[in-house]
């Protein structure tokens, strides 16, 4: 009889760098590689514990003296659109959705550049070239889709969302859209449409990434109903966004070793071969 030892993911920490969300802060990430036949199982398990995917890496904020970033997800069964969100749905009835395999196109990259130059010209992705963009879209070891949104009147590409399909929901890895249509609320519409996709598929959650109190870039996530956030190892109702503060004490952050020890890993052992 041959036994195979369990495959234990190795976790690492990035060097501190400028925080993209809060002025004067330094960010640091805890991360692990996502590869091999168990990639999907690991992605499912760690996404439920506040991790996000970027290509073949899973990461979670692990800053030395800040814990402001909170993973957020929408509970699909209890979600009800607000009046403004219902208006966003009506404004975009001319938009058609197509889900494709994760393959990058020049048309997508052109929209991506337009979006970055308008919304995030000073962000970490500002210098991303077409090859790096293709890697972001195509280098996925899990079940992913590129969801395109087109204007049915002229066929123009209006929005794109790279989406992972988890065992309990949809994870919006990265989305971008035409920035010259502010009255159309296309970014909001993409999230609303993903809630509908999840509902149709019988998936209970839509994962939105990180909500950061006090960050104008991430504040929109609190505008959706039935939002849960991951705090102290458990998901809880967001409640009143104004009740949260991004001011944290250095001693409130657990050491890296303790954070890793608290991560629940799936069973990644290979089956035992019979005699």
What is the distance between the alpha carbons of residues 16 and 27, in angstroms, rounded to a whole number?
A: 5
What is the distance between the alpha carbons of residues 216 and 179, in angstroms, rounded to a whole number?
A: 16
Which pLDDT tens digit goes with each residue over 138-169? 999 999 999 999 999 999 999 999 999 999 99
* Kind plus residue range of the DSSP H or E element containing 119: helix 106-119
Crossing angle for the helix pair 186-201 and 83-91, to the nearest 10 degrees: 90
Q: What is the pLDDT of residue 250?
A: 64
Among candidates 7, 49, 25, 55, which has minimal Cα distance to 259? 49
Domains annotated for the chain, with CATH where assigned, are 11-69+247-261 (no CATH), 72-243 (3.40.630.30)
Which pLDDT tens digit goes with each residue over 174-214? 999 999 998 999 999 999 999 999 999 999 999 999 999 88
pTM of the model: 0.92
Burial class (CB in 10 A: 0-12, 13-18, 19+), 182: exposed
Which pLDDT tens digit goes with each residue over 102-142? 999 999 999 999 999 988 766 677 789 999 999 999 999 99
Q: What is the mean pLDDT of residues 52-74?
A: 94
Q: What is the pLDDT of residue 219?
A: 87
Q: What is the pLDDT of residue 182?
A: 85
Beta strands in 44-143 (DSSP E): 52-54, 57-61, 70-75, 95-100
């Amino acid at each position: 009889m041959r036994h195979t030892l369990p495959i234990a993911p190795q976790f690492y920490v990035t060097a501190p760098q400028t925080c993209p969300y809060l002025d004067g802060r330094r960010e640091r990430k805890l991360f692990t590689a996502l590869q091999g036949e168990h990639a999907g199982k690991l992605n499912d398990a760690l996404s439920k514990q506040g991790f996000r995917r970027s290509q073949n890496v899973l990461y979670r904020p692990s800053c030395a003296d800040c814990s402001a970033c909170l993973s957020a997800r929408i509970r699909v069964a209890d979600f009800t659109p607000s009046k403004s969100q219902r208006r966003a749905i009506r404004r975009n009835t001319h938009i058609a959705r197509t889900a494709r395999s994760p393959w990058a196109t020049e048309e997508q990259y052109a929209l991506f550049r337009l979006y970055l130059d308008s919304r995030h010209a000073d962000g970490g992705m500002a210098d991303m070239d077409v090859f790096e963009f293709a890697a972001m879209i195509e280098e996925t070891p899990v079940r992913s889709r590129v969801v395109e949104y087109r204007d049915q009147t002229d066929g123009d590409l209006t929005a794109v969302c790279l989406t992972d399909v988890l065992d309990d929901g949809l994870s919006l890895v990265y989305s971008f859209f035409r920035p010259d249509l502010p009255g159309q609320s296309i970014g909001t519409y993409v999230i609303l449409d993903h809630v509908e996709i999840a509902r149709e598929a019988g998936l209970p959650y839509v994962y939105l990434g990180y909500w950061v109190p006090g960050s104008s870039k991430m504040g929109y996530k609190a505008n959706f109903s039935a939002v849960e956030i991951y705090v102290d190892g458990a998901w809880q109702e967001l409640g009143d966004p104004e009740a949260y503060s991004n001011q944290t004490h250095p001693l409130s952050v657990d050491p890296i070793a303790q954070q890793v020890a608290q991560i629940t890993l799936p069973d990644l052992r290979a089956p035992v071969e019979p005699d």
